[in-house]
Structure 1
């Protein structure tokens, strides 16, 4: 399978430098880049079949965490935004369960796609994870499962929606709510989101859509799935340096195994 069999190259010419620069400008301005219909229908159908076949082997877990993904701060009470808990619950299959012939694998490894991601994000290098689990993940959210409010630790995330539920599972975000580099956690702003007085933006994402998102300073979540149709999402993860592994504790938490 060629890259043109996977990506709608006519609409999204990933090998074109001008297109890459336009993508970078859009991502820098909005904090999110949404490429609807990025994946061709036949390739998307293959991804859906692969994800459905793997769902029975997914590791499901639930975590209670703060939006900052940090340990409890003893300087504040439990109801403070630094310590207030939200819940994330999902299933996951890992990189070692994604076939070498999968369109996801071909897309992830293809130089033209990787060069496009580098240009859009401003990264000079992109490398897969050194551990065997973390580069490509497929996430599953059944009825009632959600991704709680949080800030990312990484500078950007790449996701590809494979299957959309009939109701719920909305991607919601508030752009640039904090400035992590400056040490500004904006507790008041986070509290306003958590109590519902500050309304987030919402993205209506359709299957086959590629999303690049800068979530380090933008608070975001995926609301609970309100249907019996599973939400399926591929996460494509790179590192700016070679040889990076997800920690053993993180792998046990998210995947239930180390290898």
Structure 2
């Protein structure tokens, strides 16, 4: 399958420097870039079939965690925003379960796509994970499953929506709620969000949409799936340096295995 069979290059000419520059400006301004109908209908159908077939092999888990994804800090009370717990629950299939001819694999490895992501994010280089599990994932959220509020450790994330639930499963966020580089955690703002005193923005998307999101300083979550239609999402993960692997403890927690 060629790149033109995977990406609607007429609507999204990712090899064009001017298009990439406009996308970079959007990402820099808004903290998020949404490219609707990025996938062709053919590619989306193939990825959907792959995700449905892989569901039986998905590892499902749930974790309690803080918004900051940090361990309990005894310097603060249990109900302090640094320590308050939210829940994330999902199923996942990993990179080694994604076929060599999958449109996801072909897109991930395509030099034109990688060059586009580098141009948009400003990264000097992009490399796959050194471990066999983390580069390409497909996530499943069934009724009652959600991703709790959190900040990412990475500077950006790339996702492709495969299937949208009939209700719930909303991507909600608040841009630049903290400044991790300056060490400003904004506990007051996070507390207000957790208390429901702040109304987050909602990112609307349909299957086939590509999203680049800067989540290191922008808090975000996926609300609970309120339907019997599984939310399915592909995550394409790169590193700025070669040879980086997700830690063994993280792999065991999120994937239920090391390789």
- TM-score, normalised via structure 2 length: 1.00
Which residue of structure 2 aligns with residue 153 of structure 1? 153
Q: Report the counterpart of residue 50 of structure 1 in structure 2.
A: 50
Match of 1:113 in 2: 113
CA offset digits 1:39-62 (Å, max 9, x no partner):
001110000000000001000000
> Aligned pair 1:69/2:69, yes or no?
yes
Which SS does the other structure have where 1:181 is aligned?
Answer: helix
Tell me, which stretches of 5 or more residues in structure 2 are unaligned?
none
CA distance in structure 2 between the aligned counterparts of 1:163 and 1:107, rounded to whole angstroms: 18
Q: What are the Cα deviations for residues 17-42 of structure 1, in whole angstroms up to 9, with x where unaligned?
A: 01111010000000000000000011
Structure 1 residue 212, shift from structure 2 partner: 0.2
Distance in 1 between residues matched to 2:116 and 2:153, nearest whole Å: 22
Tell me which residue corresponds to 1:177: 177
Instruction: Give per-residue Cα distances to partners, 1:207-255, cap 9 Å, x unaligned.
Output: 0000000000000000000000000000000001000000000000000
Listed as ranges, the gaps of 5+ residues in structure 1 are none
CA RMSD of aligned residues (A): 0.4
Distance in 2 (alpha carbons) for counterparts of 1:250 and 1:164: 27
1:201 corresponds in structure 2 to 201
Q: CA deviation at 1:205?
A: 1.0
SS state at 1:70 partner: coil
Match of 2:17 in 1: 17
Q: 1:88 aligns to what?
A: 88
What is the CA-CA distance between 1:163 and the residue it aligns to?
Answer: 0.4
TM-score by length of 1: 1.00
Alpha-carbon distance, 1:2 to partner: 0.3
Q: How many residues of Structure 1 are paired with residues of Structure 2 in the alignment?
A: 259
Superposition misfits of 4+ residues, deviation over 4 angstroms: none
Which residue of structure 1 lines up, in the alignment, with residue 129 of structure 2?
Answer: 129
Looking at structure 2, the residues matched to 168 and 256 of structure 1 have their Cα atoms a distance apart, in angstroms, of: 27
Task: Verify: 1:190 aligned to 2:184, yes or no.
Answer: no
